[in-house]
Amino acid sequence: MVDKWEFYKDAAGEWRWRCTAPNNEIVGASTEGYNNKSDCEDNAHRNGWPKGDTWKFYKDVAGDWRWLRTAPNNEIVGASTEGYHNKSDCEANARRLCWLGD
């Protein structure tokens, strides 16, 4: 399972973020509100929110599913260490490593 990132407006109408673990415990949150959602997202990114990376799922030469994670600067920043017979198993592995799904 992967942590869940949420962006929301507080009672004052300012943007905030929080990160919730799979056990529903809040494991991180913004310490201030932001007028713009993009500023809030920038703050969340500095605190671990994965933003801007692209994920590619593909079949290798053996016919197994693998994933590849690429940063905005086109550097490969992650890859599956094994192949999976089912794409859903490959996606489950990627979720453990911050893939947020389609």
> How do the domains of the chain map onto residue ranges?
4-46, 54-95
32-62: pLDDT as tens digits: 999 999 999 888 877 667 667 788 999 999 9
The encoded tokens of residue 80 equal 């599956």
Stretch 61-75: mean pLDDT: 87
Q: In 53-89, which positions are buried (b, 16+ CB within 10 angstroms) versus exposed (e)?
A: eebebeeeeeebbbbebbeeeeeeebebeeebeeeee
Burial of 44 (0-12, 13-18, 19+ CB in 10 A): buried
pTM of the model: 0.54
Mean pLDDT of 66-88: 86
Of the candidate ranges 37-51, 60-74, 75-89, the one whose mean pLDDT is the lowest? 37-51
| Mean pLDDT, residues 58-77 taken together | 88
Dihedral pair phi/psi, residue 12, rounded to 5°: -85, 0
Architecture of domain 4-46: 2-Layer Sandwich (3.30)
DSSP per-residue letters across 9-59:
E-TTS-EEEEEE-TTS-EEEE-SS-BSSHHHHHHHHHHTT---S-EEEEEE
Say yes or no: do domains 4-46 and 54-95 share a fold.
yes
CATH level 2 (architecture), domain 54-95: 2-Layer Sandwich (3.30)
